[in-house]
Structure formats: structure tokens, C-alpha cells
Amino acid sequence: MDFALLANILPQVLIDGLILGFMYALIALGYTMVYGVLEFINFAHSEIFIVGAFVGVEILLSLKSAGILDGLPWPVVLLLLLVAGMAVSGALAVTVERVAYRPLRGAPRLIPLISAIGISFFLQDLIRLVESIWRNAFNLVYPTIDVLNERFELTPTIDVSLKSLVVIAAALVMLAGLHAVVNRTKIGTAIRAVAEDQTAASLMGINVNRMISLTFLIGGAMGGAAGVLFGVQYGLINPYTGFIPGLKAFTAAVLGGIGNIPGAMIGGLVLGLLEAFAASYLSLLTGGAFGAEYKDIFAFSVLILILIFRPKGLLGEVVRERA
């Protein structure tokens, strides 16, 4: 085996894994926050995420056709994309909760899950419908911002694009911001109280429904931001792109201990790194018999193993059993 080759690509694999991991971490927050409060898997979160990516591409395309994309400094563009993506995805998440989940609160736990699957499928085709009418195409490509594609040489063998650094930085800022909101503000305390015990929280004068909406808003906004970053990083999106990253982000949430916000971040990073390693080393280590195609299977195997051997996840939030 060629160990020199394995070692040579290692830093690149690490960087790819980190980017992927931050992406998963941002998406996983949506799953984990909702689960923490309602003990419910928001299956439609993957579509809320990809809606963010579509908002981003629409803004970029309209800026481009208006001819002002190249005139604007890239941080302004990126900030615009992020804010718009977060707003739309957050609003969508709140709407979905109002329409499809709130009427089902208190029903047997599979009932809202099935409803969420329905919403997920409905949204996929809704995006397709809207884009088909609007652009007559639903596979969209992010217009490139040339500056962002500039690459820095870290060492003679490794280079990293500005884009990747921006994605990582943006994800870090948002994760830190969320952590501060949840742990340092009154609203964050209220959300945690509702997650702990809804009845007790409502007796303390907390508006439980509003806090649940807020949870969906924050989770959705994080998902939307992840969508924009996903689009900027990987370029190509279609209405069905969100599904697999969504599933993996859920895996990440479970990996870190679902319901646990720092857990989602760590789980995302671990899963991203594992997947990047699997994608680049699986084929090298097995002599080409099993290639990068198996990286999805790899992620699912991680999920199954975690659920069987350590269902609390790495950080071990205790999930209460509810009949």
C-alpha cells in the first residue's frame, strides 16, 4: 500500500471533511432543536434546507441578469444571500409547523412523523413546480463569484479556496451565535424550559406555542443558511438534492446525542470527517473494489451502530421515553 500517497492527501481530506462537517452541523441543529422540544423528527427539514439554497441561487441569478453581481463586493453578496435564505427558510419552517404539525400534537408519535414525510415530498415537488414555471428548469447552477474561487497555497501540496474558508467561518459564527442565544438570553432559557417540561413552562408564564414556533424559526434559519453555503460550495442544486444531506445531518444529530445542541455540532463534524475519509480512502484501501459510492452506506452504518450501541449519542443527552 502506498502510505506516502495516503499521507499526502490527508490534509485535503481533512479540509473537505471539515467543510462537509460544518454543513451537517448547521443542518443538524434544525433536527436537534425540534427534537429537543417536541421529541419529533422533522423529516421536512431537508427541504427547508434546500429551499435556502434555491433562494440563494435565485438572488444570484437575478443579480447577475441585472448586471450588478460583479460590481458588488462579495461579502455584501454573501451576507444578502445568507439573510434572505435564513428568512425564507425560517418562515417556511414556522409555516410548516403551524399547518402540518401543530394540529397533530399529542397524537401517537408516528402520526406527525408521517405528516412530516408528506410535507417533505410535497415541498420537493413544490420547489420543482415553482422553478419549472419560473425558469423552465429545476436543476440550477450557482453563478460563480470569481474572487471566492481564488485558492491559497497553504503548503506546496495543499491549497484551499477562499470559498471554503468563508463557508467554515460563516458556519462557525452562526454556531457560536446560536450557542450564545440558547444559553445566554431570556428567550433561550424559555426554549430550554419548554424542552424540559411544557406544562411547567406554561405555568411559569412562557408562551409554549410561541417558543415552539421560535424553535422552528431558528432551526429553519440555520438550515437556510446551510443551504446557501451548500450552494456556494458545491454549485449544483435541484429540488431533490436536500434529501441525502438532510438524512446525514439527522445521523449527525443522533451521533452527537439528539436534542443536544453542542452534540449536533460535534456530531456533524465527526460525520463529515468520517465521510470524507471514507470517500477518499475506501477505494485506496480496498484496491478499488469499493469506491466512494459507498460513502452513503458508510454514514448509515454509523447511524445504525450508534443507535444500537450508544443510542444516547456521543454527548449522551438522555432522551426521555414517551409512550
Partner 1 sequence: MIQLAGAVVLLVVSALAVAAFPRSILVFLLFQTALLAVYLARMPTWLRAALLGIALLVMMPLIGLYNGYYLEVATQVGIFVALALGLNIVVGLAGLLDLGYVAFFAVGAYSWAIFGSPQANAVFGGGFPLAPIWFYVFLLVGLGVAATTGVVLGLPVLRLRGDYLAIVTLGFGEVIRVLANNLDKPINLTNGPRGITPIARPPAPFGMPYPEYFYFLVLAIVVVVVLVNRRLEDSHIGRAWEAIREDELAAQAMGVPLVRAKLLAFACGASFAGVMGVVFSAKQVFINPESFTFLESIGVLAMVILGGMGSIPGAIIGATVVTVLNLQVLKGLSLWLNELKNAGVTVLGWNLANLPTQLEPAKYERMIFGIILVLMMIFRPQGILPVRRRQRELAARATTSEAPETVAPAR
Residues that bind partner 1 (CB under 8 A): 40-41, 100, 103-115, 117-126, 128-129, 132-133, 135-138, 194, 198-199, 201-203, 208-209, 243, 247, 250, 254, 289-291, 293-294, 296-297, 300, 303-304, 307-308, 311, 321, 323
Element housing 141 (H / E): strand 140-141
- Smallest distance from the beta carbon of 48 to partner 1, in angstroms? 14
Q: Say how far residue 152 (Cα) sits from the centre of its chain.
A: 27
What minimum distance in Å lies between the beta carbon of 31 and partner 1? 10
Cross-strand partners of 160: 152
For partner 1, the closer of residues 144 and 202 by Cβ is 202
Question: Judged by CB, which is closer to partner 1: 75, or 118?
Answer: 118
| Amino acid present at 262 | P
Q: Which is nearer to partner 1, 41 or 171 (CB)?
A: 41
Give the nearer residue to partner 1 in terms of CB position, either 164 or 198: 198
Cα dihedral angle (210, 206, 33, 320), rounded to 10 degrees? -130
Residues 108-138 as b or e (16 or more Cβ within 10 Å = b): eeeebbebbeebbeebbeebeeebeeeeeeb
The DSSP bridge pattern shows strands 236-237 and 140-141 to be antiparallel
For 196, the grid coordinates are: 424540559
Instruction: Tell the smallest beta-carbon distance from residue 38 to partner 1 (Å).
Output: 11
CB of 238 to partner 1, least distance (A): 11
Residue 181 Cβ, how far from partner 1 at the closest point, in Å?
A: 22
CA distance 91 to 80: 16
Q: Which is nearer to partner 1, 12 or 209 (CB)?
A: 209
Cα separations (Å) of 270 from 51, 86, 109, 124?
25, 25, 29, 28
Nearer to partner 1 by Cβ, of 122 and 234: the residue is 122
Q: Which residues are 219's β-sheet partners?
A: none
Least distance in Å: CB of 261 to partner 1?
20
